[in-house]
Homo-oligomer: A and B are copies of this chain.
Amino acid sequence: MISKIPGGVTAAKGFSAACCAAGIKYQNRTDMAMLFSGAPCAVAGVFTSNKVKAAPVLWDRKIVTSGGPAQAVVVNAGIANAATGKTGLNLCRGTAEHAGKVLSIPAEFVLLGSTGVIGPNIPLDRITAGVSAMSETLSDTLEAGTAASKAIMTTDTVNKEIAVEFDLPAKSGEGTVTVRLGGMCKGSGMIHPNMCTMLAYLTTDCAIRRDLLQKALSAVVQDTFNMITVDGDTSTNDTLLVMANGLSGNRCISEEDESYNVFCEALFTVCRALAVRMAGDGEGATHLVEMRVYNADTKENARILARSVVASSLVKAMIFGRDANCGRILCALGYAGPDFDPAVIELYLHGERETVCFYRDGCVQAFDEDKAAAILGEKEVRFSCDMKMGSAEATAWGCDLTYDYVKINGDYRS
């Protein structure tokens, strides 16, 4: 059983966090965070599919693909360190070397993350000053994890963290131990299902073989971070990392057994919660939008159809306007790509207490406009579509398109 518990990245045993105001771009707020594990961690990661990859993405990918281990993460908000050429790569090396020195670990054990404006260079002296300061304030309290989740925000309106616990067989062979998995993420604009998310860091005290950790992460991403969209723009910096230090004392997961399945379920719970919060906190968003496609012919087609609806500008604008213009949902399904029969599918709007049928038998249905408008006024708007083809299903999450999205992105740099 997976239980939600308080906290985020410091919920699991052996992980501490810190943050500071390094003045990299933002003033009067924290803009750097550090995570540290007392023991080296198995590490797995998923990175942006953008051909233009930020320097920290290149740095982290090398650590992950070479097999790790990792023991620390250093993140800054405000400048992305992307499109910065060799200068950007040198900054990564300098940051990791300094962090390695103050934390007494190899530079290659230090993962990096940056988020913010593409183009400018980050001043190395501010980064190293920040790293030094944070290394002296690392704390394993829940508050330290929360503070770190706030320090990495850019246009986010709320910080995002979650933690769960579950039991696994003990290493000793007698009984079970409690394992914890927590995470934090930031992301509001530049999120799109073609990859993971902006920045997400998960920590667990589970003992699990590195290749299985990567396999679990890659699988879970498909139905969580890859199913959200805010604006269809895929960032140069998107990074999802999970670090497992094994300190819970569970018997190391080394095959795809029942323990592996429990871990995957916990990972799914954490990733979905963080992903949905990111979708709901899309830039300028006033609604979380959920689209569930079921009875599709294949899982992949269900995903494509669901994502097409939450990515549609017209659907997003209609939800902002509380206008039950269901033809736009039908239209977004139609141009998604997968084949289906428009004459048989059924389309629904689900409120907290009521469901409205929008479309059936090839025709838009007569429905109570006031009722539909009331449902569209709820904070979370849910649609579903029965494809009548098979048994595959998928759910995608997004948000509405608002004046504030345009405002935020019309003048992001200043």
Residues of A within 8 A of B (CB): 48-53, 80, 82-87, 117-120, 189-190, 192, 194-195, 231-236, 311-314, 317-318, 320-321, 323, 325-328, 330-336, 338-340, 342-343, 359, 361-364, 401-403, 405-414
Q: Kindly provide the distance from the CB of A146 to the nearest chain B CB, expressed in whole angstroms.
A: 29
Bound CA span A412–B413, Å: 32
Q: Cβ of A338: which chain B residues have Cβ within 8 Å of it?
A: 51
Across the A-B interface, the 4 shortest Cβ-Cβ residue pairs: A118-B327, A321-B410, A119-B364, A52-B334
Verify A342–B234 contact, CB threshold 8 A.
no
Identical copies in the complex? 2
Q: Which of A231, A325, A405 has the most CB of B within 10 A?
A: A325
Determine whether the beta carbon of B80 is less than 8 Å from that of A327: yes
| CB-based contact A363/B83 at 8 Å | yes
A236 contacts B85, CB within 8 Å? Answer: no
Please report the C-alpha to C-alpha distance between residue A312 and residue B321 in the assembled complex, in whole angstroms: 22
Min CB distance A401 to B, Å, is 6
Residues in B with CB closer than 8 Å to A330 are 52, 83, 118, 236
User: What residues of B have a CB within 8 angstroms of the CB of A235 in the complex?
Assistant: 331
Establish whether residues B83 and A233, one from each chain, have CB atoms under 8 Å apart when the complex forms. no
Residue contact B334 to A50, C-beta cutoff 8 Å: yes
Of B48, B311, B331, B402, the contact of A118 (CB 8 Å cutoff): B331
B340 touches A51 (CB 8 A): yes
Closest to A347 in B: B83
Query: How distant is the Cα of A48 from the Cα of B120 in the complex, in angstroms?
Result: 43
Closest to A332 in B: B233
Specify the chain B residue showing the minimal Cβ separation from A324: B413
A314 near B403 (CB under 8 angstroms)? no
CB-nearest residue of chain B relative to A402? B406
Q: Would A119 and B335 count as touching, CB distance under 8 A? A: no
- CB-CB < 8 A to A120: which residues of B? 364
CA–CA, A403 to B408, complex, Å? 11
Given A327-B118, A328-B118, A402-B406, CB of A318 within 8 Å of CB of B364? no
Measured between beta carbons, the chain B residues less than 8 angstroms from A85 are 343, 361-363
| A313 near B118: Cβ-Cβ < 8 Å | no
Given contacts A234-B331, A321-B409, 4 further A-B contacts (CB under 8 A): A51-B340, A190-B331, A233-B313, A403-B403
Nearest B residue (CB) for A409: B317
A84 partner residues in chain B, CB cutoff 8 A: 362-364
**Centre residue among A49, A84, A231 by max chain B CB count within 10 A:** A231
A312 touches B362 (CB 8 A): no
Instruction: List residues of chain B with CB within 8 A of the CB of A413.
Output: 323, 325
* Cα A312 to Cα B192 with chains together (Å): 11
Given known A-B contacts A118-B331, A331-B190, A332-B233, A323 and B412 have beta carbons under 8 A apart:
yes
Which B residue's beta carbon lies closest to that of A343? B85
Contact B317 A405 (CB under 8 A): yes
